[in-house]
């Protein structure tokens, strides 16, 4: 295995209106907290928030395409949603290797989403299988 404990990868994203609408169409999650500004104003958030699973899908994109990369299969994922992410907010997906299990072709990773102000939006851990 070419990976070592402590290796990490960060990728920045901006959560756009289009991403939220497209995700809503794709999944059927049409919760007004994501799509209706007037409704969102009446909630504790005061404005629309991104779907939590949209953020999680960006973690999946990083795992499968960037780090560890193609051939990575997500086996297990745990999330703790800690802070909402709003439309047009910049986030950072951070992935860090915490354990390498070469005999099983697996790794354990921290998978966090950090807002531009440093607030943790998602705190996660996962296990991946490395196909190649």
The tens place of each residue's pLDDT in the chain, 132 residues long, gives 689 999 999 999 999 999 999 999 999 999 999 999 999 999 999 999 999 999 999 999 999 999 999 999 999 999 999 999 999 999 999 999 999 999 999 999 999 999 999 999 999 999 999 986
> 32 in a domain, yes or no?
no
Convert the pLDDT of each residue in 67-100 to its tens digit.
999 999 999 999 999 999 999 999 999 999 999 9
Where in the chain does DSSP place strands (E)?
8-14, 72-81, 90-101, 106-115, 120-130
How many other CB atoms sit within 10 Å of the CB of residue 41?
11
Has residue 30 been placed in a domain?
A: no
Q: Residue 90's domain spans which residues?
A: 8-15+52-130
Domain count, the chain: 1
Q: Is 77 inside a domain boundary? A: yes
Residue 31 lies in a domain: no
Distance CA(90)–CA(46), nearest Å, equals 18
CATH of the domain at 100: 3.10.129.10
Find, among 39, 58, 55, 59, the residue nearest to 47 by Cα.
39
Query: What's the whole-model pTM score?
Result: 0.92
Tokens of 109: 């990773």
59 pairs with which residues across the strands?
none
How many angstroms separate the CA atoms of 55 and 115, rounded?
11
């Amino acid at each position: 295995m070419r990976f070592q404990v402590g290796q990490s990868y960060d990728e920045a994203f901006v959560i756009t209106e289009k991403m939220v609408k497209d995700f809503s169409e794709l999944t059927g999650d049409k919760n007004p907290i994501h799509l209706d500004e007037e409704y969102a104003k009446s909630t504790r958030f005061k404005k629309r928030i991104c779907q939590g699973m949209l953020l999680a899908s960006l973690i999946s994109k990083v795992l499968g395409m960037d780090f560890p990369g193609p051939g990575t299969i997500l086996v297990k994922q745990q999330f703790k949603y800690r802070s909402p992410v709003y439309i047009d907010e910049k986030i950072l997906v951070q992935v860090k290797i915490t354990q390498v299990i070469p005999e099983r072709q697996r790794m354990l990773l921290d998978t966090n989403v950090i807002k531009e102000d440093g607030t943790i939006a998602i705190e996660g851990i996962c296990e991946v299988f490395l196909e190649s």
